Chain A
Amino acid sequence: MISIRNISKWFGEFQALNKCSTEVGKGEVVVVCGPSGSGKSTLIKCVNGLESFQQGEIWVDGISVANQKTDLPRLRARVGMVFQHFELFPHLTVVDNITLAQCRVLGRSKKQAVDKAVQLLEMVGLVEQQAKFPAQLSGGQQQRVAIARALAMDPIAMLFDEPTSALDPEMINEVLDVMVKLAQSGMTMLVVTHEMGFARRVAHRVIFMDRGEIVEDRPKQTFFENPETDRARQFLSKILTH
């Protein structure tokens, strides 16, 4: 489904990504972890073209991201993304946040879009908040709306960029629960996160990145029980003592 081949990216002189390669198959849940500055967010943003890259190729469902002729907006509509800071549109209600792109990009009628929005809000447990504005919701609620917004586009894959890092601890679980449900329903997911509990529950593979490189890319079990590299081992020991 998602094929990342030899991606290298520079910000001016600074190399953010160094020959990163991996594959995410249909229905797979892959977790990307690593210390900050390791390039995880940059890598995931390259997948839907929000960040450009100088070398390498990325293919999403057979479409090349870097190809000049690719209609990026159309591609992005097929891949959902959830951001660390939720990024709901503050001037629109919850429902309008979810229907905006459905109508403007997919051309659905307002009724279709609202029905879909309500259905998804039920799934994430927020249907009563549909007429509220983002600023009236808690962080956890906002992030769940953001997930619903991305799902409303019927994506073939979902990208998560540290979805719980900006949340207060008591709200992390409500978001993770939604993500677990999504994973169990068979969605292809690429998740950048520190939440190892989530990884242990539903991930198929874990990727460990450090300083712009993919250091480990293993099935979940083997990664947690027996990391190959010292860097991964150090990282795990720091995270898992919490």
Chain B
Amino acid sequence: MLPLPSLIDTHCACSGHLSLFTFHLSPVLPLAAFDFSVFLRPSPEAVLNNLSYLLVGLGLSLLLALASWVVAFVVGSIVGVMRTLPGRIAPSMGVCYVELFRNVPLLVQLFVWFFVVPDITPLLGDWFKQQVSPFWQEFIAGTVCLGLFTAARIAEQVRAGIGSLGPGQLGAGLALGLRRRQVYLLVLLPVAYRILIPTLTSEFLNLIKNTAVASTVGYLELAQRSASMGETTSRVYEAFTAATVLYAILNLLVMFLARALERISALPGFLGAGGNK
């Protein structure tokens, strides 16, 4: 049987020597009929069986996505708002952030957070490399990386959302004596976020897909697990079909929730920006 994909050894301080999972091409896999009972057979790596192995992977993907989303939403909103502020400093900082995180490939960013940053950070870095378990190292690096990466995209959307409200809303808020911070929090953002629900949903779906990149540093999410299940059981078709179906189900679930959110937050009669014009 083929050697199991060897996982990344912890990147311990002693060496930078990492071995990544290697796939050896088997001779042509026979196009046998699908055998779905493979999911119920016990898996060497999972607690229960192959199906549970994949489901845990799905859970890990979702977990990473949710954690990253929190980071991305907060940071992205701040940067997006910064880009709409008057003056030159705040908008420029916003532009720099967006340009930086959008023009470096996601994989490279992940490696920076996982390898470079702990290495060059004086005290925290060493603690991270030595005291934190591999799983948490991968999870934290993944969350920071995906969070900041997605934040750049969310920032652009927030900026566009606020822009679509028109300058009058800000003026009306200020004219009442509200401070700029209050106008953003009480007037502009509540309306902008409602408008942005569809785009933010698709951004979240992208984020879920992007969690697969974390497998390169050893995070055992769904895509990686489907490949390794395919290797161990040599039922590659079934494994990948299952993973595809699971991603699709997750997609549908997210979109369903998003539509529910849209319905709950909908304002009667309000059909997008400028409803009162």
Contact = CB atoms under 8 A, between A and B. Distances in A.
A/B contact in complex, CB under 8 angstroms: yes
Interface of A: 45, 48, 50, 73-81, 83, 85-91, 100-101, 104-106, 132-136, 142, 149-150, 153, 166
Interface of B: 166, 168-169, 171-179, 182, 186-187, 190-191, 194, 267-271, 275-277
B275 A90 contact: yes
Contacts of B175: 48, 50, 76, 79-81, 83, 150
Given A77-B176, A91-B267, A149-B176, A134 B275 contact: yes
A158 B190 CA distance: 28
Given A73-B177, A133-B267, A50 B171 contact: yes
Contacts of B178: 73, 100-101, 104-105
Contact of A50 (B174, B268, B269, B271): B174
A133 B267 CA distance: 7
Nearest to B270: A135
B182 A89 contact: no
Contact of B169 (A77, A87, A104, A149): A87
Nearest to B269: A135
Nearest to B166: A85
A166 B277 contact: yes
Contacts of A91: 187, 190-191, 194, 267, 270
Contacts of A79: 175
Contacts of A134: 275-276
A136 B268 contact: yes
Contacts of B194: 91
Nearest to B277: A85
Contacts of A87: 168-169, 171-172, 276
Contacts of A149: 176
B186 A100 contact: yes
6 contacts: A77-B176, A85-B166, A85-B168, A91-B194, A106-B177, A135-B269
Q: Is the interface of A mostly helix, strand, loop or mixed?
A: mixed
A50 B187 CA distance: 17
A90 B268 CA distance: 9
A132 B270 CA distance: 12
B267 A135 contact: yes
A133 B177 contact: no
Contacts of A50: 171, 174-175
A106 B178 CA distance: 10
Contacts of A166: 277
Top 8 A-B pairs ranked by shortest CB distance? A77-B177, A135-B269, A87-B172, A101-B176, A81-B175, A135-B275, A105-B177, A135-B270
B172 A83 contact: yes
Given A89-B191, A91-B194, A104-B186, A136 B269 contact: yes
Contacts of B169: 87, 89
A238 to B, nearest CB: 27
A74 B271 CA distance: 34
A76 B277 contact: no
Given A135-B276, A166-B277, 19 more contacts: A50-B174, A73-B174, A73-B178, A75-B177, A78-B177, A83-B168, A83-B175, A85-B166, A85-B276, A86-B276, A87-B168, A87-B172, A90-B191, A91-B194, A100-B176, A135-B267, A135-B268, A135-B271, A142-B276
